[in-house]
Structures are given as structure tokens and as C-alpha cells.
Amino acid sequence: MSESISILGSMIKDHCKIKKLINDLEEKTKQDFDSMSKSFNKFEWELEKHVFAEEKAIFTSYNPEDVTEGYKMLPELTKQHNFIINTLNNWREDVRKKRMISEVYSFKEFITRHKDFEEEKVYPKLDEVLSEEEKRHIVAKINEIVHK
């Protein structure tokens, strides 16, 4: 019997990478601008790919039979993604103007809550309701986007 495909497992790997990058960014904000800027660029790139992967690979493949139940989590996820993208945009502007970014710790706390929401509510639900073929397709897309 073949092993079941898991969207959760695939995205946990990416969450670990993002956590390491935000920890590095937080550390670099205590150092010099150039170190912080390099760390931010890497963090921003990986986090934007992650959000893109979720919204394109997952949302476009997820068509729940019970729309009311199935789509409960998506507005919350979209709201959180919007906050993430807005924060990155603000930080990018700071970096462009050669300013140190601030409030990394509070954003890290938000990212942790977002990760927990996805790992406890979103991905297990998708793994439960999608067919093996749908999950295989989504995981392939995720790998194409975030694990390159």
C-alpha cells in the first residue's frame, strides 16, 4: 500500500524554513543595516513564495462539497495573508530608505499564530477532504514553488 500524500507535511517543512529566517532577521536587526537588509531580502522572498504557493496551489484546487463549512477558514487565511504582505511591503519601504525595520518580534508572534492556524485547521482539513490525486497535484505545485 502506498503512503498517503500530506499537504500538512509538505508545508511544515516550509514553515520551519520561514521560522529560521525570521529568527535570523530578528537577530540581524540588532546588528548593522547591511546584515539586516540581506536577511530581510531572503526572508521576504521565502515568505512571499509561501503565501503564493498557498493561494495559488491550494486555494485554486480546493472546491469543497459543503461550501459553508469548507470556506470558513479561507477568509481568515486571506485576512492573515493580507496582513503578512502589508507588513513585508512596509518593511521593504524601510529597507529601501535605509532604515532598520522594527517590530520583528511582534510579527514573529503573528507568524507563529498563523502557522498554528494553518497546521491545526487548514492543512489537516485539506488532507482529509481532498483525493490523493488532488493532494499529489497540490504538493507538486508547492514543491515547484517553495522548495526550489
- What is the secondary structure of 26-65 as a DSSP string? HHHTTS-HHHHHHHHHHHHHHHHHHHHIIIIIITTT---S
Q: What ranges in 53-103 are assigned the alpha helix state H?
A: 67-70, 73-96
Distance in angstroms (rounded) separating the CA atoms of residues 148 and 139? 13
Nearest to 88 by CA among 18, 16, 15, 13: 18
| pTM for the predicted model, two decimal places | 0.88
Nearest to 30 by CA among 39, 19, 42, 41: 39
pLDDT in tens, 16-40: 999 999 999 999 999 999 999 999 9
pLDDT in tens, 119-141: 998 889 888 888 899 889 888 88
Distance in angstroms (rounded) separating the CA atoms of residues 3 and 125? 18
